A and B are shown apart, each in its own frame.
Chain A
């Protein structure tokens, strides 16, 4: 490091400038925010740039299968109580996107960084984080991703001996396995509805016993650690036993869990839970998710759900029947090209909702719903589905690229 007034080497500075210029050109060409391409160019010019940029920041990493983007946002809001924050708020969560985000934060004190699961170990090595938040791990895009348990193993190896405070979900056995190689863990009982990726002990392969909220392996003794923080209904319980109400605008149990983990992270940096939570209440939508938009004189709430665990949490937060529901599923590269996962989602939970399906793989959804004995309408377009939907706010649930398509259509 060259000194406080000028922390970047000439090479790093050149890389940042070149990256910004490319990003601006990409934006001007209408190709999105340009953060990924800009970061890629910058990293090529200076491969150590991520480490260099991270040097003068307190880095917080956030990783999970679900809830990364939202939790990153909640932590960023909370830490703004303590100082300026830079963050990859739009979810560009691989090294190029992260580098690009940090390059824009030279005056910040904290960097709150969402990291793709596959890159967590590498980014943790490069950025020397003060804190790492691990929320959950479950099956996702198995046609191109590593096996879920292998991901936990990979985290475990990458985090062994890390100096960071690891804030980890005590209710997810795979996360506990990943985190327990770290010397300094803060356990949060954040809950987890989806259990089907952790019936087999990540340590010895024994069958997990899961009475109530507890879990343990009957064979090797691997068990749920005692949490110091907990989500309890609508409250966060802190390590002193105080209960703080959660009044988020974001819906659902999963977001309360994200808030509990975020409060635990904020406390690592001296921000008390009531201050942290208060600041999270301002968050209304995250990268378009949970946004209520007006379209064809109707209210549509846009919900992103990419995998069975995500759909399960989403079904639990939608308005009750007869609220109409639109489901949209694609299977492009970013979604995973195998739609078999739809069969791990329990669609009988939609009983009583008028259901409309669209997206590239609407016929997979149609067969899935037929077998779940649900009534549904197959639609060609969002406009058609909205037209057919009975009165009331419409819940729209879509996977990744389907969600992007919907946002484009409603102009959000």
Chain B
């Protein structure tokens, strides 16, 4: 990327923007601008090609049929694979997270191939949907504070050897595997079940994406007082008995 610009790609808002996850794009965009970056945000509809020269790609959650359609179109397009090959950073949520794995269960109850950009496989749980506030500890290697988010899914996501758990939940279901893991990541591709939106609840994850994209170790500080207040309230509220 050029020194002072950031290309932010929001993938398929027509299919995967049902649960407020476009907030993730808004947060990354805002925090980049506050650091003086020139941000070009590109919203790519599912009948348009995915650009391969983006710096950060964001994918959100969606309903079951749109998830299948998005997987079909992303596979056919191939642009996201090439972007990851070029070193782009990808951050995905819920249905988008499942699409980045090897496969998931689609709306027809069939196994649907994903993009294989994350070493995970998703199936569908039999019981109740996982719905509610989540509290967790993000993988220590990432050096980030507690994870807070809202989950609303029925997925179960198993991690393969080259994916690391993004977090371990203290409250909530996360990957639904019963081992307490939540989300997955490798060097450049991240997946989580968290809404909220998750980057509004955890702005330092947004900063991590920016640092990876810019290849820097630190960013100038910005006024995070409202984020901090929201985090404190959500973390404390999650710990109250319902």
Q: Do A and B bind each other?
A: yes
Which A residues fall within an 8 A CB radius of B? 139, 142-144, 147-150, 196-197, 199-200, 205, 207-208, 218, 337-344, 363-364, 366-368, 370-373
Report chain B residues within 8 Å CB of A363: 226, 229-230, 233
In the bound complex, residues from chain B placing their C-beta under 8 Å from that of A200 are 14-15, 65-66, 69
User: What are 23 sample pairs from A and B whose C-beta atoms fall under 8 A apart?
Assistant: A142-B19, A143-B150, A148-B18, A148-B63, A149-B63, A150-B63, A199-B15, A199-B45, A200-B69, A205-B65, A205-B69, A207-B45, A337-B150, A338-B150, A340-B150, A340-B197, A343-B21, A344-B22, A364-B230, A366-B226, A366-B229, A367-B227, A368-B23
- Asked if B196 lies at the interface with its beta carbon under 8 angstroms from chain A, I say yes
A337 touching B132 by the CB < 8 A rule?
yes
Q: How far is the CA of A200 from the CA of B16 in the complex (A)?
A: 11
Whether B150 and A366, one on each chain, are in contact in the complex, defined by CB atoms closer than 8 angstroms, is: no
Q: Are the CB atoms of B65 and A370 closer together than 8 Å?
A: no
Q: How large is the interface on B (under 10, 10 to 19, 20 to 34, 35 or more residues)?
A: 35 or more
State the 10 A-B residue pairs at the shortest beta-carbon distance, nearest first: A340-B20, A343-B23, A199-B14, A343-B20, A363-B230, A207-B47, A147-B63, A366-B226, A340-B195, A371-B30
Nearest-Cβ distance from residue A140 to partner chain B, whole angstroms? 11
The reply to whether B226 and A207 contact each other, CB–CB distance below 8 Å, is no
Interface centre among A139, A150, A338 (most CB of B within 10 A): A338
Q: Mark B33-73, 1 if CB is under 8 A from A, else 0.
A: 00000000000011100000000000000011110010000
Say whether B230 contacts A371, CB under 8 Å: no
In the docked arrangement, what's the CA distance between A164 and B129, Å? 36
Which residue of B45, B197, B230 is within 8 Å of A366 (Cβ)?
B230
Interface residue from A150, A199, A218, A342 paired with B20 (Cβ < 8 Å): A342
CB of A55, distance to nearest CB on chain B (Å): 39
Instruction: Please give the distance in Å from B79's CB to the nearest CB on chain A.
Output: 16
17 further contact pairs, Cβ within 8 A, besides A139-B18, A364-B200, A370-B226: A148-B63, A150-B63, A199-B45, A200-B15, A205-B66, A207-B46, A337-B150, A339-B150, A339-B196, A340-B150, A340-B196, A344-B17, A344-B20, A363-B226, A368-B23, A371-B27, A371-B200
Chain B binding surface SS class: mixed
- Chain B residues in 8 Å Cβ range of A364: 200, 230
Taken together as a complex, chains A and B put the C-alpha atoms of A149 and B18 apart, in Å, by 11
Question: Roughly how many angstroms separate A147 CA and B150 CA in the complex, as a whole number?
Answer: 17
Name the residue on B nearest A347 (C-beta): B26
Contact (Cβ within 8 A) B227 A343: no
A196 in contact with B17 given A143-B131, A340-B150, A367-B226 (CB within 8 Å) = yes
B152 interface hit (Cβ, 8 Å)? yes
Given contacts A199-B14, A337-B132, A340-B150, contact A371 B65 (CB under 8 A): no
Contact: B14 with A338, CB < 8 Å?
no
Which of A149, A368, A373 is the most central at the interface, judged by chain B CB atoms within 10 Å of its CB?
A368
List chain B residues, Cβ under 8 A from A343: 20-23, 26, 197, 200
On chain A, the residues within 8 Å of B27 by CB distance are 371
Query: For B45, what are the chain A residues with a Cβ–Cβ distance below 8 Å?
Result: 199, 207
Q: Which residues of A contact B66 (CB under 8 A)?
A: 200, 205
Question: CB-CB < 8 A to B229: which residues of A?
Answer: 363, 366
Bound-state CA distance A197–B14 (Å) is: 8
Q: How far is the CB of A355 from chain B (nearest CB, A)?
A: 13
Q: Determine which of A142, A148, A150 lies in contact with B152 in the assembled complex, contact meaning CB atoms within 8 Å.
A: A142
**For the complex, what is the distance from the CA of A311 to the CA of B86, rounded to whole Å?**
40
> Contact flags (1/0) for B210-242 with A, using CB distance below 8 Å?
000000000000000011011001000000000
Give bound CA distance, A366 to B63, whole Å. 28
Which residue, B13, B17, B132, has most C-beta atoms of chain A within 10 A? B17
Give the distance in Å from the alpha carbon of A366 to the alpha carbon of B131 in the complex: 24
CA gap between A370 and B31 in the complex, in Å: 11
B residues in contact with A207, CB < 8 Å: 14, 45-47
A108 to B18, alpha carbons, bound, how many Å?
A: 43
